[in-house]
Chain A
Amino acid sequence: MQRQLNKNGELQHLLTIEGLSAAMLHHILDTAESFVGVTEREVKKVPLLRGKAIFNLFFEPSTRTRTTFEIAAKRLSADVINLNISASSQSKGETLLDTVNNLSAMHADMFIVRHAQSGAAHLIANHVAPEIHVINAGDGRHAHPTQALLDMYTIRHFKRDFHELKVAIIGDIMHSRVARSQIHALTTLGVPEVRVIAPKTLLPKGVEHLGVHPYHDMAKGLKDVDVLLMLRLQNERMQGALLPSAQEYFKYYGLTPEKLALAKPDAIVMHPGPMNRGIEIDSAVADGPQSVILPQVTFGIAVRMAVMSILAGS
């Protein structure tokens, strides 16, 4: 059962993009836009979440996502508690729900959860008290909704309208929670053509049922594309039977200036970070004029502020 929305149709938790309306996504993006101003002021704080306790519950190591959530919460004047659970209770045998119940007893208002298992955030959301909000900061291969929202913010910022775009997601779709959330967001916002480009070992079965067109050849897949969403290729995928070598992957699927030239001249390049330069992306592209990778990071804070303030207000 999915319990993202409360009885009034407001966002109670943010667990996945799937099932949210285009209006809801735009509402989040519009709210984020109002916060971009805040982050550019000298005093970068608003009192919206003053007195609220926000727990960063990271069962999987992460620096970037955790930090951006922390900054976003602090700019909303909330109290932030960071918990790196993989190093504490889980190793002592405490179950996921025991950990959550204990923290709930400390009067948490919001949990920001990252976990290596798909569905972990749903499980927590189904078992917390009704006044507690849960934000999924990445669960297994399933979803990473705030990443997808900041990507949508970036696309809207640079391209204005979603309805004329061709968007390509490139890389390890199989293991990527980012890709799944991006796909739901793009199709919901009315992007007419979403492509996924990867060797067959990195494409999950039936991915076309999510509303995307699979490609295995960069030259064909990148033709006339407006937005390129690169994915990080985890080092461990370089072993075993998924890919033969980083070199071969870079040669056929790495984004070089030559391959980028196949897309539209004004195409933008995005990446959720951290980047593997020379594996999925050439430095000349990452640092080039079409890259919007650093603006993504800046918008990420505003988007996370928007999500937290909307949840706290529901």
Chain B
Amino acid sequence: MKIHIKNGRLIDPKNHLDRKADLFIAAGKVVSIGDPPQGFNASHEIDANGLVVCPGLVDLSARLREPGYEYRATLESEMEAAIAGGITSLACPPDTDPPLDEPGLVEMLKYRARSLNQAHVFPVGALTQGLLGENLTEMAELRDAGCVAFSHAEKPLDNALVMMRAMQYASTFDLPVWLRAQDASLSKIGVAHEGEVATRLGLPGIPTCAETIALSKILRLAEETGARVHICRISSSEGVEIIRQAKKQGLPVTCDVSANHIHLSDRDIGFFDSNCHLIPPLRSLRDRDALKRGLKDGTIDAVCSDHTPVDDDAKLLPFAEAEAGATGLELLLPLTLKWAEESNVPLTDALSRVTSRPADVLGIESGILSPGAVADLCIFAPDTYWKIEPKSLKSQGKNTPFLGLEMKGRVRYTLVGGHIVYEATPS
């Protein structure tokens, strides 16, 4: 199919491009920007007047709940949600049931995802067998099956020797290791940021040092082993500062933050709103502001949705017993735009945090609009408001702290490999 996208505002962060121009697609690739290639005969035209045309979003953490948790969500429902959110590539963490620790499971997931012909799915493999923190997985085999990185998801990995060996082994094959920094013993019973709010509500706390201690350990081991490390979902001001210093010293470390955490703090828990029960916990306003600044100055490389669909029954429980997590695929773009507007970040720069930079973390050829690049695109109306409510979300998970709020930025079209996989129904 040959597609002509006309009159749009083209934003391509990697090429520092932000101008009104037409874009031409043929054979699944971007073939030209500005003027049509000779003899180009569009079979389909998209009028993008008033819309932004940018690379498809790249999400570093989206739980699709397969295999094992199909009652929460299925690949079908969540892939629909992804493209409705303008996401064309996503990484899914290994904490499925069973965990992604065998090539067969990874191949099955890749196969299921491919057959849906929507967003590209990049499985993140389990770092240890069963995510139990004892024995390494067959990382090279898993890579051959399609894993792009290895992580321990939310499962504790406190044994420093196992962590060091895992990093050494991963770096043997130049495989990136993704870790969330949280000391297990300091966070074991906690469900909220240890501070004023948790004290007032009588909720067991997770101290900031649970993050900083784990972070220091991870970074020292990365230095020791030469592993490429990516820190998932940083949550504290002190944590951001540690990453900032590590980057200054030239350590090859990258880092992401969840879209929820750049907007919310523990105060949003109010009186036990279980939609605000998240991992990592929402921390103080000071932490939230530090996350925003860290994202602006580039210390934090990417914003991810940390999409975690949870069924209603698992949320309608007292705060501590309610399952953690929020739906996020369809909120990644509006929450990123909201941050950009509030923090005075130019749109090009802001979009790099959900396109080119996470693509670099994943090591994939995406998040760019140069001629020859795969035509993964997101076309959105930057100033259109929409209300976050259960019926406006395609995801099977309707749980989000932003329920009932109006958000700016609505996806109109999503293209994957030159095909229009999503077109918003006119409202």
Partner-B contacts on A (CB < 8 A): 1-2, 15, 18, 95-97, 115, 117-120, 122-123, 127, 139-143, 177, 180, 204-207, 209-210
Contacts and interface: CB of A to CB of B under 8 A. Distances in A.
B318 A115 contact: yes
B426 interface: no
B272 A95 contact: no
Contacts of A210: 196, 199-200
Contacts of A209: 196, 199-200
Given A180-B200, A204-B198, A209-B196, A122 B317 contact: no
Interface string B306-328: 00000001001111110000000
Contact of A2 (B271, B313, B318): B271
Nearest to A125: B271
Contact of A118 (B196, B202, B207): B202
Contacts of B318: 96, 115, 117-120, 123, 139-140
Given A139-B202, A180-B200, A209-B196, 6 more contacts: A1-B273, A115-B318, A119-B271, A142-B202, A142-B203, A204-B205
16 contacts: A15-B271, A95-B313, A95-B317, A117-B318, A117-B320, A117-B321, A118-B202, A118-B272, A119-B272, A119-B318, A122-B272, A123-B318, A142-B201, A205-B198, A206-B196, A209-B196
A205 B186 CA distance: 14
B195 interface: yes
Which 4 interchain pairs have the tightest Cβ spacing?
Answer: A141-B202, A119-B272, A142-B202, A117-B318
Contacts of B316: 95, 97, 123, 127
Given A118-B201, A140-B320, A205 B207 contact: yes
B205 to A, nearest CB: 6
* Residues of B in contact with A, size category: 20 to 34
Contacts, number: 77
A207 to B, nearest CB: 6
Contact of B199 (A1, A15, A139, A204): A204
Contacts of B204: 141
B320 A118 contact: yes
A255 B276 CA distance: 41
Contacts of A95: 313, 316-317
Interface in B268-282: 270-273
B74 to A, nearest CB: 24
A177 B200 CA distance: 10
Contacts of A140: 202-203, 318, 320
Given A18-B200, A205-B207, A210-B200, A119 B195 contact: no
Contacts of B271: 1-2, 15, 119, 122
Of residues A2, A127, A142, which shows the largest number of chain B Cβ atoms within 10 Å of its Cβ?
A142
Contact of A177 (B198, B202, B207, B320): B202
B270 A96 contact: no
B194 interface: yes
Interface of B: 194-196, 198-205, 207, 270-273, 313, 316-321
B115 to A, nearest CB: 36
From A115, A139, A143, A204, residue with most partner B Cβ within 10 Å? A204
A115 B272 CA distance: 14
A123 B313 CA distance: 13
Contacts of A119: 201, 203, 271-272, 318-320
A66 to B, nearest CB: 20
A117 B189 CA distance: 12
B200 A205 contact: no
A118 B197 CA distance: 13
Contacts of A141: 202-204
B426 to A, nearest CB: 35
A207 B199 CA distance: 7
B202 A123 contact: no
A205 B319 contact: no
Contacts of B196: 205-206, 209-210
Most buried by A among B195, B200, B270, B316: B200
A207 B197 CA distance: 10
A205 B205 contact: yes
A177 B272 CA distance: 15
A127 B201 CA distance: 20
A118 B191 CA distance: 11
B283 to A, nearest CB: 12
Contacts of A139: 202, 318
Contacts of A18: 200
Interface centre among A1, A180, A205 (most CB of B within 10 A): A205
A206 B319 contact: no
A118 B203 CA distance: 6
A96 B274 CA distance: 15
A206 B203 contact: no
Nearest to A143: B202
A122 B322 CA distance: 14
A117 B317 CA distance: 9
Contact of A123 (B203, B270, B272): B272
A95 B314 CA distance: 10
Contacts of A177: 202
Contacts of B320: 117-119, 140
